[in-house]
């Protein structure tokens, strides 16, 4: 039985889908005004693994991850760069897709964009006005009246009185309560706007996600996910406006991944410790970043340091080294999982406990040790069984999808540098020369070539089938 920690109740709960055998998931995606960073990578990897695991368990999953393509930040960035909003967002959406593909993130089943759902947003705002949960202020903006939604604060565990004590109304706002939030913004000069019953304007951020999620998955669905920073006020506001409009429960299980920190400080541009996915993948193989993200439980803080990434690199390298001479090209295709295997049963028990990926990775490393032991003992049948199991379980986490030689010879494996100019061809030529020297029993020449390779960060291993090499 799968148990998920529900942020709404603060407890692990047995997962029971609304419709047997089917799961509907919505995850808050990116606001596309810049390149995606490590925090975005964590959201994408975490819910990619959640989706992969649910599907392996036999559920029919509908996974929706939105794109926010109209927002104050987007408008401001386009103005700063002197370009059209559509050009800005199109460029960063393409970059997002490229980054997620590099990390082997499976594409969501649906990827709605806010600007495609203006009609649904207007309908939702009108429902809230009709039910007296919203009002139009003197400045033309439409706000949600938090005081009319009695369970406001349940997701974040906050009381209205405490929230009001820490809030203030901005000078340019006309809302009646500091906690009221905007649903529709009246048109301003030189900003994009759409016609509505209340005049030209554009949607507020919170209402976009309610409209997109309910349009794609219905007014009541199973799982809503996102980063911990969205729990309040974004997700709190989503619950309020959605349930107020429909009179129905919005979501059964709320999942939030923890913050990303850099050297134990909060990641932020102002501190200069802000890393894009592309910057990291220039130096580290995508599976190393993925392994690093999964090495912490999704609800825990993730501390980004080069030391941690190097540790992940070493761990993934050891896994691929163990798979050498076992994984054939055709074996890289995921196979059907045999859940009767005792090790597979343990993996499932681990993942059923709120997707405990650190323990799952520990099990992969345990299987690796057993595989190496079996190889030393010459038990080929057991080696092949463990190798297939290791690749299959790793695949559920989106790992071990490469041919081992391809991974181990990737230039980024050379001391974390992607610009290593010691080519594979040059390495192969030196190895061929060394093989010839060994054949001629010229051990001094063979040792000299080994040292040249070692100085270039190339490790070699002489096996019964030939000489293997890897970077790093």
CATH 3.40.50.300 fits 262-411, yes or no: no
- Assigned superfamily of 17-257: HUPs (3.40.50.620)
State the pLDDT at residue 455: 81
pTM of the model: 0.89
pLDDT in tens, the chain (472 residues): 999 999 999 999 999 999 999 999 999 999 999 999 999 999 999 999 999 999 999 999 999 999 999 999 999 999 999 999 999 999 999 999 999 999 999 999 999 999 999 999 999 999 999 999 999 999 999 999 999 999 999 999 988 877 776 665 554 567 888 899 999 999 999 899 999 999 999 999 999 999 999 999 999 999 999 999 999 999 999 999 999 999 999 999 999 999 999 887 877 666 767 799 999 999 999 999 999 999 999 999 999 999 999 999 999 999 999 999 885 544 444 446 788 999 999 999 999 999 999 999 999 999 999 999 999 999 999 999 999 999 999 999 999 999 998 899 888 876 544 445 577 788 888 878 888 888 788 888 878 888 888 887 788 787 777 777 778 6
On the question of a common fold for 17-257 and 262-411, the answer reads no
Query: Whole-angstrom Cα distance, residue 55 to residue 62?
Result: 10
State the pLDDT at residue 331: 46
Query: Whole-angstrom Cα distance, residue 320 to residue 317?
Result: 5
The closest alpha carbon to 277, from 290, 263, 295, belongs to 290
The reply, when asked if residue 188 is annotated as ligand binding, is no
Domain residue spans in the chain?
17-257, 262-411, 421-471
The closest alpha carbon to 179, from 204, 209, 147, belongs to 147
How far, CA to CA in Å, does 256 sit from each of 2, 61, 400? 17, 19, 26
The reply, when asked if residue 368 is annotated as ligand binding, is no
Q: Cα 155 to the chain's mean position, in Å?
A: 22
The reply, when asked if residue 269 is annotated as ligand binding, is yes
The reply, when asked if residue 234 is annotated as ligand binding, is yes
């Amino acid at each position: 039985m799968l148990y998920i920690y529900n942020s709404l109740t603060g407890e692990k709960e047995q997962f029971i889908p609304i419709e047997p055998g089917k799961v509907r998931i919505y995850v808050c995606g990116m606001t596309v005004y810049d390149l995606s960073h490590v925090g975005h990578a964590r959201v994408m990897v975490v819910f990619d693994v959640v989706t992969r695991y649910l599907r392996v368990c036999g559920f029919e999953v509908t996974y929706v991850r939105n794109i926010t393509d109209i927002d104050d930040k987007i408008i401001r960035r386009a103005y700063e760069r002197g370009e059209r909003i559509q050009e800005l967002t199109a460029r960063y959406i393409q970059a997002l897709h490229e980054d997620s593909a590099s990390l082997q993130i499976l594409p969501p089943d649906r990827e709605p964009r806010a600007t495609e759902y203006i009609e649904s947003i207007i309908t939702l705002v009108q429902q809230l006005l009709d039910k007296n949960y919203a009002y139009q202020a003197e400045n033309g903006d439409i706000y949600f009246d938090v005081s009319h939604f009695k369970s406001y604060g349940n997701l974040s565990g906050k009381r209205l009185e405490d929230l009001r004590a820490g809030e203030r109304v901005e000078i340019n706002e006309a809302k009646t309560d500091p906690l009221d939030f905007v649903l529709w913004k009246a048109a301003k000069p030189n900003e994009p706007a759409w016609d509505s019953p209340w005049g030209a304007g554009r949607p507020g951020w919170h209402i976009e996600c309610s409209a997109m999620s309910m349009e794609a998955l219905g007014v009541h669905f199973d799982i809503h996910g996102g980063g911990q920073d969205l729990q309040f006020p974004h997700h709190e506001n989503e619950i309020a406006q959605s349930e107020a409009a429909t009179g129905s429960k919005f979501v059964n299980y709320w999942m939030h991944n923890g913050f990303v920190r850099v050297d134990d400080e909060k990641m932020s541009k102002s501190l200069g410790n802000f890393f894009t996915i592309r910057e990291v993948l220039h130096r580290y193989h995508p599976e190393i970043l993925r392994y690093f993200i999964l090495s912490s439980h999704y609800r825990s803080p993730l501390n980004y340091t080069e030391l941690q990434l190097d540790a992940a690199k070493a761990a993934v390298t050891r896994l691929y080294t163990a798979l050498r001479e076992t994984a054939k090209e055709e074996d890289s295709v995921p196979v059907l999982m045999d859940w009767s295997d005792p090790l597979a049963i343990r993996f499932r028990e681990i993942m059923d406990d709120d997707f405990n990926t650190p323990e799952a990775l520990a099990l992969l490393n345990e299987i690796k040790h057993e595989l190496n032991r079996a190889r030393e003992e010459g038990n080929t049948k057991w080696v092949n069984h463990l190798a297939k199991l290791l690749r299959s379980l790793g695949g559920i986490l989106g790992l071990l999808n490469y041919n081992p030689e391809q991974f181990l010879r990737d230039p980024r494996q050379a001391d974390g540098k992607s610009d290593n100019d010691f080519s594979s061809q040059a390495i192969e030529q030196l190895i061929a020369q060394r093989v010839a020297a060994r054949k001629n029993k010229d051990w001094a020449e063979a040792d000299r070539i080994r040292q040249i390779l070692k100085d270039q960060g190339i490790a070699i291993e002489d096996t019964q089938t030939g000489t293997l090499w890897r970077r790093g």
